[in-house]
Amino acid sequence: MSDTPHTLNQALLAAMDRYGRQPCFRIKKDHRPYQEISYYKFQTQTFRLAHFFRRQGIEPGDRVAILAGNSPEWMMAYCACLLVGGVAVPLRPTLPIETLRSLIRDAEARLMVIEVEHHQPILQDALVTLPQLKDIVTLTDQRALFSETTSITAILAQPISTEEALNVRRLAEQIEPAALASLNYTASETGLLKAAVFNQGQRLLTMQYIAAWATFNDDELAFTVLPWASTSSLDFSLHCFMSGVANALAKPGQSVVENLQQTAPTTLMVTPLGLEVFYNEIMREIEALPEASQEVFHWALSIGKAYRMAGDNATEALRREYASADMTFFSQIRGKVGGRVNRLYYVGAALPQKLVDFMEAIGQVPLGLYSITETGGFPVINYLEQPRSGACGQIAPGFELRLAEDGEILVKSPTVMLTYWNQPQETVRQVLDADGWLHTGDLGEIDSDGYVHLNGRKQSMIILSSGRKIIPARIEAALKESPFVAQAIVFGEGRAHITALIVPNLDALADSFEDGLTGLVTPETDSLRWYWLGDDEHSEPIATMAHAGVKIKLDQVVEAVNRKLDLFERIEKYSLLEHAYSKIAHDMADLTPLQRRQIGERFATLISSMYPRTILQVGEQITQVEVSPERMRELLEKETLLDAWLADAGLEFLFDLARRKQIDTPSIVHICDTAASIAQMVNEERPLSTALIVGDPPRIA
């Protein structure tokens, strides 16, 4: 094989050979500490799986669907598929069963790797309803229930000969750059999922472009939270893999924060939703403190914000105040994510300003990345050395970007998708024009320094804080299929989940009630009268919210619609409206973004009531605070304990150095490693720095 790779296959093989005994993944099983999987072991087992795929008749170009959560086995299946020339089809496990069946059928998958939990209905009749599917590999042994399946554990445990391993390698190296590599399904403006198509050469270019801006130092560790069915997460994890940086995986069903403390990663990719959950948890803890402590915390936030804004021009007094605030509060907050994170990327959606301000104040600067599936990478990135608050970043290596006349962001790159799978050419040309420019559907602007800012969507689409793209018209149409719904509109832009405003069809509801309208109107319910959509407000009331049947019927409608939706599309809460929200909605299949925004503003209070209370930071309102000497000693008790522990270990000089250099003192990795060696804490599951930060002295023996 040439020293210069020409395909993703060749780059993957080179990484496995180069990093041999180094760990590529850290995983947690049961209640045991995190365990490492070396590149050598990963390669050995991936070759075994690739050999199995070949034995089952997988030929170059055949599609292999992967329907599971993140695990080493997921990545082995992905790599094994590529090595034999197959086309990987990652699918989101949260999609409804019928949607998953439809996508597997659309991709004409020849083999499926599946995590059985929540997906048993697919297995029950898969070989009948999915005629192209010939083989099913399960992550757990299901042969007792489904005899036609094969357990991946059994495959990985079956040795192959040296000659068979060489055959796998030879085949992988011979796959051409133009060979198809992956189909990645993504939401479209119609609400239907379409698969963007990429080849081996494009996938390699994606890795090379990321490598131009995401470089690593020694002793780096990435932590993967987002599912690999998301192209952003998969691309970044593959880059880490090919850079010799291990990926620690979140343990399903376990606290992500606890996993972060156990691993102390340096690189993390999240969505705005993840940061919002983290922020709200911190603020709840602060709210539980005595009032004096809360005031000190908000003073600390104001100092953090001032220090961040001052940058290199910070005065000596401000530096001292920030050092105190950092030791007292911020280092502990950073410790909740392991204490070592120096790259915190967020993708999928814009980050609310309150979260930007908070994260910057505590010394954990969030770095925005912009990507959509069809671009095949990250066209816009915030460099670690040049982040800009509120901006997506600057145009990344390997990409061109320009704005259309209406402000739509257009992207061109060799990594942009080839086409949409099984879609007519006219559909493809609506997104990818004849000159190779990808029309993203996002509106934006570019400032004088070359930073890209997003301004919304060209068409109606909701982007949740998790980064999930939702087509509102699709959900609204499903609701209005019910005879009991006259109008419906859903919301969720920048929020954690979808909510809805529903105008009931009171005629249909009244007809469905067994007791009709008798007794519905009483003096107590008179104010709750419902009038139909006509202009005569003096007409007789048809029904009232006091009738229990209204809520029961509409609960059933929403539940039925939710069963057909992806987990992230489902309506979490809804509210009823007495009157029509928009007369024009009767005559339109879809509302324009402007109309949706106007309706959202009109019912802003009602919509906000369907979401958890937002916890606001008020740090900018506090510039100073009076604290008694006794109270300050209490607040800084942890700093004293840290000094004592490190002095006992003979390491106080390192702590002094950390202070002078303004390093995150409790979490500095060299202190962790040195102190752990001295204390001979060979069975310590969490790094020493984490135990210090979260205040767990019993673990320090």
Q: In this predicted model, what pLDDT tens digit does every residue of 262-300 receive, in sequence order?
A: 999 999 999 998 999 999 999 999 999 999 889 999 999
Q: Give the pLDDT confidence score for residue 547 in this predicted structure.
A: 65
- Domain span holding position 513: 469-591
pLDDT band at 123 (very low <50, low <70, confident <90, very high): confident
If one compares 119 and 177, the residue with the highest pLDDT of the two is 177
- The mean pLDDT of 622-630, rounded to a whole number, is 50
Same domain, 511 and 578: yes
Express each pLDDT in 564-615 by its tens digit: 888 888 999 998 887 777 655 544 446 777 778 888 888 888 898 898 876 5
Angstrom CA distances, 384 to 20, 213, 326, 389, 393, stand at: 29, 9, 21, 12, 10
If one compares 331 and 545, the residue with the highest pLDDT of the two is 331
Task: Examine the fold and report which residue of 525, 560, 591 is the final residue of a domain before the chain moves on.
Answer: 591
79 is a domain residue: yes
Measure the CA–CA gap between 404 and 86, rounded to whole angstroms: 37
Q: Above 50 in pLDDT, residue 698?
A: no
Q: Above 90 in pLDDT, residue 535?
A: no
Residue given tokens 């910070």 in the structure block: 314
416 is a domain residue: no
Q: Above 70 in pLDDT, residue 651?
A: no
Q: Give the pLDDT confidence score for residue 480 in this predicted structure.
A: 87
Q: Give the pLDDT confidence score for residue 571 in this predicted structure.
A: 94
- The mean pLDDT of 374-402, rounded to a whole number, is 93
We report the CATH number of the domain holding residue 15 as: 3.40.50.12780
154 is a domain residue: yes
Same domain, 541 and 656: no
Same domain, 244 and 95: yes
Residue given tokens 């911190």 in the structure block: 282
Burial (Cβ within 10 Å: 0-12, 13-18, ≥19) of residue 164: middle
Same domain, 55 and 171: yes
Same domain, 587 and 640: no
If one compares 512 and 524, the residue with the highest pLDDT of the two is 512
Choose the weakest-confidence range: 463-477, 529-543, 619-633.
529-543
Task: Compute the CA torsion angle 503, 506, 509, 510 (nearest 10 deg).
Answer: 160
302 is a domain residue: no
Express each pLDDT in 200-249 by its tens digit: 999 999 999 999 999 999 899 999 999 999 999 999 999 999 999 999 99
- The mean pLDDT of 466-484, rounded to a whole number, is 85
Residues 6+ apart with CB under 8 A from 569: 468, 470, 475, 498
Burial (Cβ within 10 Å: 0-12, 13-18, ≥19) of residue 269: buried
Q: How many CA atoms lie within 13 A of 178 on its CB side?
A: 0
Helix (H, G, I), strand (E, B) or coil at 434: coil
At 593, list the tokens.
Answer: 């973004």
Q: Above 70 in pLDDT, residue 432?
A: yes
DSSP 75-112: HHHHHHHHHTT-EEEEE-TTS-HHHHHHHHHHHTEEEE
Same domain, 105 and 249: yes
Count of CB atoms situated within 10 Å of the CB of 219: 11
**Count, residues in the chain:** 701
Choose the weakest-confidence range: 33-42, 88-97, 314-323, 635-644.
635-644
Express each pLDDT in 686-697 by its tens digit: 444 444 444 443
Q: Give the pLDDT confidence score for residue 616 in this predicted structure.
A: 54
At 185, list the tokens.
Answer: 């399904």
Same domain, 640 and 585: no
If one compares 347 and 649, the residue with the highest pLDDT of the two is 347
Q: Give the pLDDT confidence score for residue 548 in this predicted structure.
A: 67
Q: Give the pLDDT confidence score for residue 590 in this predicted structure.
A: 62
Number of domains in the chain: 3
Select the highest-mean-pLDDT range: 118-127, 558-567, 668-677. 558-567
Same domain, 585 and 644: no
Task: Examine the fold and report which residue of 192, 226, 260 is the final residue of a domain before the chain moves on.
Answer: 260
- If you average pLDDT over every residue of the chain, what do you get? 83
315 is a domain residue: no
566 is a domain residue: yes
Measure the CA–CA gap between 93 and 46, rounded to whole angstroms: 22
Q: Above 60 in pLDDT, residue 354?
A: yes
Q: Give the pLDDT confidence score for residue 124 in this predicted structure.
A: 81
Q: Give the pLDDT confidence score for residue 657 in this predicted structure.
A: 52
We report the CATH number of the domain holding residue 554 as: 3.30.300.30
Same domain, 55 and 168: yes
Express each pLDDT in 409-426 by its tens digit: 999 999 999 999 999 988
C-alpha closest to that of 635 among 392, 162, 286: 286
Q: Above 60 in pLDDT, residue 305?
A: yes
Measure the CA–CA gap between 422 and 194, rounded to whole angstroms: 9
338 is a domain residue: no
Choose the weakest-confidence range: 433-437, 501-505, 581-585.
581-585
Same domain, 36 and 171: yes
Express each pLDDT in 132-191 by its tens digit: 899 999 998 888 778 889 999 999 999 999 999 999 999 999 999 999 999 999 987 666
Sequence letter at residue 517? L
Whole-number percent of the chain with pLDDT over 90: 55
Assess contact for 417 and 402: CB atoms under 8 A.
Answer: no
Q: What is the largest CA-CA distance in the chain?
A: 87
Residues 6+ apart with CB under 8 A from 597: none
244 is a domain residue: yes
- The mean pLDDT of 513-540, rounded to a whole number, is 44
Assess contact for 206 and 225: CB atoms under 8 A.
Answer: no
DSSP 580-641: -S-GGGGT-SS--HHHHHHHHHHTHHHHHTTSPPP----GGG-S-----HHHHHHHTHHHHH
Same domain, 75 and 223: yes
Task: Examine the fold and report which residue of 531, 565, 591 is the final residue of a domain before the chain moves on.
Answer: 591
Same domain, 554 and 651: no
Q: Give the pLDDT confidence score for residue 459 in this predicted structure.
A: 74
Choose the weakest-confidence range: 87-101, 159-173, 184-198, 511-525.
511-525
pTM assigned to the model? 0.77
Question: What angle separates helix 8-19 from helix 72-83, to the nearest 10 degrees?
Answer: 130
pLDDT band at 1 (very low <50, low <70, confident <90, very high): low
Select the highest-mean-pLDDT range: 79-88, 180-189, 558-567. 79-88
